[in-house]
Amino acid sequence: MTSVASHRRLVECLERSAAQSPGAYRFKLALLAIAGYGVLAVALVVALALSVGLGVALLLTKSVWAIKLIKLVWIPLLLAWLILKALWVKIPEPEGRRLRPGEAPALEREVEHLRREAGAPPLAGIIIDTDLNAAAASVPRLLGLAGNRHFLVLGLPLLRVMSPDEMASVIAHEFGHFGGGHGRFAGWIYRVRQSWFRLLDALQQQRSAATGLFVKFFDWYAPYFNAYSFVLARSNEYEADAVAARVVGAPAAGSALVRVNLAAQRLHGEFWPRIDRLALVQPEPPAALYAEMARSLSEPAASDGDVLARALASAPTLDDTHPVLALRLSALGVPAELPPAPAQSAAQAWLGPLADVLQDEFDQDWHRWVGERWSERHRGHAAARERHAELASREPGLSPEEALEWANLCEQLGVGGDVMPLYEAALAAAPDSAPAVWSVASLRLERDDPAGLPLADRAIALDPEFEPRALQLMADFHYRRNEDAAHDAVAQRLRAWHARQAKHDAERGKLGKADRYAPHALSPEQRGVLEDTLRKHGKIKKAWLVRKEVPGGGPPHFVMVVDWRGMVFSSTSELERLLAALELPGSVYVLEKPGSGANGRRVVKAAGEPVFRH
């Protein structure tokens, strides 16, 4: 399923068949999941049988070669371990503030009433978090064999925005995921899907002949199963909406959908960008973030009508299992209209003073989490403002490099209006500058301007370092425009880059007889920094350094052999300390001279003279 077009066609076909015969669709999905488990079960049995059989055969030979080949027994055992590890998908309890029994009696009564009306199982707890969202979370016991514990997660910002009726509809919707017969099945399908992708990731990292066949199979199977189960997840949203309409009423369900769409747009489009800009002028983060969030999201805005119109015009995508707003309102049979401001929020009605207590706790946690990073960012912006003022005093007589820096600073500081003309001027001044080409290309692609496509390719040609970012932006551009063929062509290039990168990383992580070494070719300044680092380490008597030739190019890769000075109690910790301190223009692999064997001798021979002597 590497093609977006084929993925889209499969999902559309499955949506039609699921609508016509839901039972048949779920039966086929269950068979597909069981088939995957069947492949794993056969592989597990074969791997264990091979390991035992190979071990017995080698021991019965009573040969010296049997001792040398006994390590082959571990190859099938490794495959068996990867399979078992991937199957063990542990789902933790949801994060947030778990309410104690009796702490919010009004909320508990309302939740219990809605749970009974929706036909959902008993809850293990109610959790309040900081998201503008709500969720039904099932935590399986013994992979679901001993049942599940169910949690209701409610975001405090959502409780602050919604009216009691709207919030009741949201809760009933989440209980719809627990009840209706699909909760346990959907949870099982979710864990199966996670297992496949975990296994695929583990097998790809191994990249051995023993796992190659499984990589090819699950590289096809995991995305195919994901597309098949995508339809289930989306249909569950409609079923949960129907539960909300039955329990609370369709008008409240529709009003809740519209209000959360408006609040989410304001949160991500206005509130967080405004908080982000505060770091420019304010050395400390705001002390009452969530109080300000509640005020910002609760107040009606003149732009709400336009925001709603854009939400209603959104087309379905394959990125989100939630159907678009227009389809959900249509399924509920309610009109799309702006809801009136609630007379009382759900937080006021059900939490009372506890809402402010929780808000203060969340504010303090956020302040502690963001405090240091906020101060660092503020200092960085201060330095950027100083440099901006310096360049402004000499503008327009800037060099090509300074013109690009000027555009970057204007964009970073949010001054000077539209920065596109500034980047284009920098590109005109230095048409062969890869950073300038990339800056214009990325900005155009982000603005859905197709003129950025050839520029992105040119940036790659000028500097291959831009290749993964450029290809990802190009793929996203085509995906947003539903240009499936163009997207798939770029995605194929991106997969090829990742394959090359994985091969390069594998080469950088091993040493062997076939390796070829060249002089390190460090500049005098770079060598001086290296010698200073080795001297400060204090435990190194000599060090040899070479540059390993890695097929396919890429950043330099160095191999260093060190000879310890005096007694070293833990060579592992000393090597880790050295690696953390080294500043080389590329990756590095470090060996200790005692115990490095033939690999170490080859490096020392290729290096000739040590790069450092104590």
Domains and CATH numbers, the chain: 4-90+195-239 (no CATH), 394-508 (1.25.40.10), 517-613 (3.30.460.10)
Half-sphere exposure (Cβ direction) of 609: Cα atoms closer than 13 Å:
3
Q: Is the pTM of this model over 0.75?
A: no
Query: What is the distance between the alpha carbons of residues 51 and 75, in angstroms, rounded to a whole number?
Result: 8
Query: What is the distance between the alpha carbons of residues 366 and 484, in angstroms, rounded to a whole number?
Result: 41
Chain segment 384-398, per-residue pLDDT in tens: 888 988 888 887 788
Among 76-90, 288-302, 457-471, 530-544, the minimum mean pLDDT is found in: 76-90
Percent of all residues in the chain with a pLDDT value above 70, rounded to a whole number: 85
Query: What is the distance between the alpha carbons of residues 583 and 290, in angstroms, rounded to a whole number?
Result: 42
Q: Which residues of 403-433 are buried (b: 16+ CB within 10 A; e: fewer)?
A: bbbbbbbbbeeeeeeebbebbbbbbebbeeb
CA-CA-CA-CA torsion for 423, 426, 427, 432, nearest 10 degrees?
-140
Query: What is the distance between the alpha carbons of residues 332 and 250, in angstroms, rounded to a whole number?
Result: 6
Query: Confidence class of residue 354 from pLDDT cuts 50, 70 and 90?
Result: very high
Percent of all residues in the chain with a pLDDT value above 90, rounded to a whole number: 38
Chain segment 55-76, per-residue pLDDT in tens: 666 666 665 555 555 555 566 6
Place of tokens 């939630």: 322
What is residue 140's DSSP assignment? E
Check whether 531 has a pLDDT greater than 80. yes
Q: Give the pLDDT of residue 479.
A: 87
- Find all residues with CB under 8 Å of 382, minimum gap 6, and list them: none
Query: What is the distance between the alpha carbons of residues 59 and 66, in angstroms, rounded to a whole number?
Result: 6
Chain segment 360-381, per-residue pLDDT in tens: 999 999 998 888 888 888 888 8
CB 256 within 8 A of CB 169: yes
Query: What is the distance between the alpha carbons of residues 167 and 158, in angstroms, rounded to a whole number?
Result: 8
Q: Give the pLDDT of residue 76.
A: 64
Q: Are strands 612-613 and 540-548 parallel, antiparallel or unpaired?
A: antiparallel
Query: What is the distance between the alpha carbons of residues 24 and 186, in angstroms, rounded to a whole number?
Result: 15
Chain segment 12-69, per-residue pLDDT in tens: 888 888 888 888 888 888 888 888 777 777 777 777 776 777 666 666 666 555 555 5
Side chain identity at residue 92, one-letter code: P
Among residues 246, 212, 222, 187, which one has the least CA distance to residue 86? 222
Query: What is the distance between the alpha carbons of residues 297 and 266, in angstroms, rounded to a whole number?
Result: 7
Check whether 181 has a pLDDT greater than 50. no
Three-state DSSP class for 597?
helix
